[in-house]
């Protein structure tokens, strides 16, 4: 049987790190097995729709390099076309722009309502499912009754006692839900790919609702119908769905369908061991993208959150991950989200980039729209070893864009007096002045200045660095002078001498 895996995000918010991890795991498995990676949108909970969620998910996957083979694969530009302020209307307009590809569509659940109804009716006919007309008030009472007796909250099957005629009559007149009749005894068992055998006593299960009174299916029902019809061979999803899986298996059994292989991935925890949430900072993929983390870093980081290569190797490109991915090595223990580790990965990948490419990537983050390409190249060369994210490209280089303002005391290295400062700046000026403007390179600056400074660099290099930047912290004086160019450097050192004199 062909390996077919899927992610089935509900468009209820921005695509987050946990979603990316599930997507990556499915994608790697599909690539490894020469299978198919499907994306299906599960939008049956119409009250929680977020219009931008589908474009955000698609953009996050595209940015990460995770290619979609089938299903919801892309979107036409949403700009200018989606003006409505009503969120449901906006969602529906965006939905029309979605590109779907494959033989098992539609791949958006709200476009499949007919299919779910047909299958629910089959179960009604077989008497494995039944209509339920109970009001929310009655259901609430039943729930409270269970609570009072310390029993698991379960529907009391009141509507199952209706005669055929009563049932038909009510069905024509009042809204109803369709419930599955769960067997009263026995166990539902499955072998989780990550956690091994999981079982549940059927008598503890509530009769799950398959179709809601608004005609939409519940997640439990549509997920089973679609995974079956879309020929999904393996379901790899977050562990929050473990309690739902026995219900799903009972639905497969009701139709006499074979159950796909199922594995539940551990959730990502924050550093304190709690559930990773917005409170822990950025958790949506687009936040990381906007902050200027490189996709290679995010993918490498996320891959190692859930999967252990069992070696000391840490750096993996997407192609290497595909080669080395092994479903048997999925972590059983919940990983923790360590921001510093992500930054380390991002810094690593930044240092691997050719300067020209890094300059292109940093362009949107540069403080000003710098026209001088040469200056951009210099800035990027200086910053490349120092930064962790693309947005860091502006760190400590304000002085390049504006004349430094600083108190003259800042020019002093330790207990230097004004005269010593002036003398030091004059020495530096002489060295800088000798380098022709056309040869004002990093090495030509560094060599003579380092030689003149000797072992105790502070007295020569600190005043020079402050004269150029006016900042307590900055790149090295050679790098600062190189970025500023000969004329500007000379002018700033002269101004510092005037300031001290």
Give the helix ranges, DSSP H, for 325-436. 339-352, 355-362, 373-383, 418-434
For ligand GLU, the binding residues in 207-246 under the rule CB under 6 A are: 219, 223, 237, 241
The answer to whether 327 and 261 are in contact (CB under 8 A) is no
Q: Is 252 in the site for ligand GLU (CB under 6 A)?
A: no
Q: By CB under 6 A, is residue 24 in contact with ligand GLU?
A: no
CB atoms under 10 Å from CB of 318, counted, come to 20
Surface-to-core class of residue 461, CB atoms within 10 Å of its CB (0-12 exposed, 13-18 middle, 19+ buried): buried
**Which of the ranges 6-14, 96-104, 126-134, 375-383 carries the binding residues for ligand GLU, by CB under 6 A?**
6-14
Q: Which helix (H) or strand (E) holds 465?
A: helix 458-469
Coil vs helix vs strand at 186: coil
Q: In the complex with ligand GLU, which residue's Cβ is closer, 283 or 416?
A: 283
Q: What is the CA radius of gyration of the chain?
A: 32
**What is the DSSP code (8-state) at residue 69?**
-
Peptide bond into 106 cis (omega under 30): yes
Structural contact between residues 432 and 469, judged by C-beta atoms closer than 8 angstroms: no
Q: How far is the CB of 72 from ligand GLU (least distance, A)?
A: 13
Smallest gap from residue 223 Cβ to ligand GLU (A): 5
- In angstroms, the CA 304 to CA 500 distance is 55
Q: How far is the CB of 220 from ligand GLU (least distance, A)?
A: 9
Write out the binding residues for ligand GLU, residues 384-413 only, by CB under 6 A.
Answer: none
Using the contact rule CB under 6 A, the part of the chain among 5-13, 25-33, 51-59, 320-328 near ligand GLU is 5-13
Q: Is 10 in the site for ligand GLU (CB under 6 A)?
A: yes
**What is the sign of the dihedral through the CA atoms of 467, 473, 476 and 479?**
negative
C-alpha span between 170 and 132 (Å, rounded): 10
Alpha-carbon distances of 139 from 7, 153, 159, rounded to whole Å: 33, 10, 11
Residue 194 · residue 200 · CB < 8 Å: no
CB of 10 to ligand GLU, least distance (A): 4
Element holding 235 (H helix, E strand): strand 234-238
278 included as an active-site residue: yes
Q: Which two tokens stand for residue 274?
A: 């709690």
CB of 339 to ligand GLU, least distance (A): 24
CB atoms < 10 A from the CB of 224, how many?
A: 25
Spell out, one character per residue from 170 to 209, where the chain touches ligand GLU: x when CB under 6 A holds, - when not. ----------------------------------------
| Stretch binding ligand GLU (CB under 6 A), from 4-12, 210-218, 357-365, 411-419 | 4-12
Task: State yes or no: residue 42 binds ligand GLU (CB under 6 A).
Answer: yes
Q: Are strands 187-192 and 196-201 parallel, antiparallel or unpaired?
A: antiparallel
Q: Which of 8, 66, 411, 416 binds ligand GLU (CB under 6 A)?
A: 8
Applying CB under 6 A, what is the total number of residues that bind ligand GLU?
Answer: 8
**Is the Cβ of residue 241 or residue 344 nearer to ligand GLU in the bound state?**
241
Question: In the complex, what is the shortest distance from the CB of residue 248 to ligand GLU, in angstroms, rounded to a whole number?
Answer: 8
Closest distance of CB 6 from ligand GLU, Å:
7
State yes or no: residue 9 binds ligand GLU (CB under 6 A): yes
Q: Which two tokens stand for residue 373?
A: 């390409």
Instruction: Specify the residue for token string 């994608």.
Output: 27
Q: Which is nearer to ligand GLU, 213 or 267 (CB)?
A: 267
Which listed residue (278, 313, 329, 430) is catalytic? Answer: 278
DSSP calls for 356-373: HHHHHHHGGGSSS----H
| Residue 267 binds to ligand GLU (criterion: CB under 6 A) | no
Q: Which is nearer to ligand GLU, 269 or 375 (CB)?
A: 269
- With contacts defined by CB under 6 A, name the span among 8-16, 25-33, 89-97, 155-163 that binds ligand GLU: 8-16
Q: How far is the CB of 40 from ligand GLU (least distance, A)?
A: 8
Q: Which is nearer to ligand GLU, 8 or 49 (CB)?
A: 8
Residues that bind ligand GLU (CB under 6 A): 8-10, 42, 219, 223, 237, 241
Catalytic residue ranges: 278
């Amino acid at each position: 049987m062909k390996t077919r895996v899927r992610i089935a995000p509900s468009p209820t918010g921005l695509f987050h790190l946990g979603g990316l991890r599930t997507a990556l795991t499915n994608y790697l498995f599909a690539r490894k097995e020469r299978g198919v990676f499907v994306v299906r949108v599960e939008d049956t909970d119409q009250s929680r729709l977020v219009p931008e969620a589908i474009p955000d998910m698609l953009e996050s996957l595209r940015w990460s390099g995770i290619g979609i083979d089938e299903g919801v694969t892309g979107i036409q530009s949403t700009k200018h076309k989606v003006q409505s302020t009503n969120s449901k209307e906006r969602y529906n307009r965006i939905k029309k722009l979605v590109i779907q590809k494959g033989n098992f569509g539609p791949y958006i659940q709200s476009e499949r309502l007919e299919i779910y109804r047909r299958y629910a009716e089959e179960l009604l006919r077989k008497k494995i499912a039944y209509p339920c007309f109970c009001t929310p008030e009655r259901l609430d009472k039943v729930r409270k009754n269970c609570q009072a007796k310390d029993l698991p909250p379960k529907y009391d099957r009141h509507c199952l006692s209706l005669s055929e005629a009563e049932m038909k009559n009510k069905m024509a007149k009042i809204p109803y839900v369709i419930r599955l009749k769960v067997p009263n005894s026995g166990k539902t068992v499955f072998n989780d790919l990550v956690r091994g055998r999981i079982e549940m006593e059927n008598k503890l299960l509530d009769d799950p609702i398959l179709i809601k009174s608004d005609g939409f299916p519940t997640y439990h029902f549509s997920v089973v119908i679609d995974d079956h019809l879309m020929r999904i061979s393996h379901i790899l999803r977050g562990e929050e769905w473990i309690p739902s899986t026995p219900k799903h298996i009972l639905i497969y059994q009701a139709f006499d369908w074979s159950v796909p292989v199922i594995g539940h991935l551990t959730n990502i925890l924050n550093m304190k061991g709690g559930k990773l949430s917005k409170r822990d900072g950025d958790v949506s993929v687009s936040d990381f993208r906007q902050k200027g983390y490189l996709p290679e870093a995010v993918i490498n980081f996320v891959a190692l959150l859930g999967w252990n290569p069992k070696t000391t190797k840490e750096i993996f490109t997407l192609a290497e991950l595909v080669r080395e991915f092994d479903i048997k090595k999925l972590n059983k223990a919940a990983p923790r989200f360590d921001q510093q580790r992500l930054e380390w990965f991002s810094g690593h990948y930044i240092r691997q980039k050719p300067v020209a490419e890094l300059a292109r990537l940093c362009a949107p983050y540069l403080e000003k729209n710098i026209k001088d390409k040469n200056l951009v190249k210099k800035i990027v060369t200086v910053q490349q070893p120092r930064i962790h994210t693309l947005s860091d490209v502006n760190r400590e280089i304000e002085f390049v864009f504006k004349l430094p303002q600083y108190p003259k005391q800042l020019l002093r290295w330790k207990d230097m007096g004004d005269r010593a400062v002036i003398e030091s700046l004059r020495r530096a000026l002489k060295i800088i002045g000798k380098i022709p403007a056309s040869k004002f390179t990093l090495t030509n600056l560094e060599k003579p200045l380092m030689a003149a400074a000797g072992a105790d660099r502070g007295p020569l290099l600190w005043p020079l660095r402050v004269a150029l930047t006016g900042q307590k912290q900055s790149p090295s004086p050679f790098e600062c002078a190189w970025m500023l160019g000969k004329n500007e450097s000379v002018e700033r050192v002269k101004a510092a001498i005037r300031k001290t004199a």
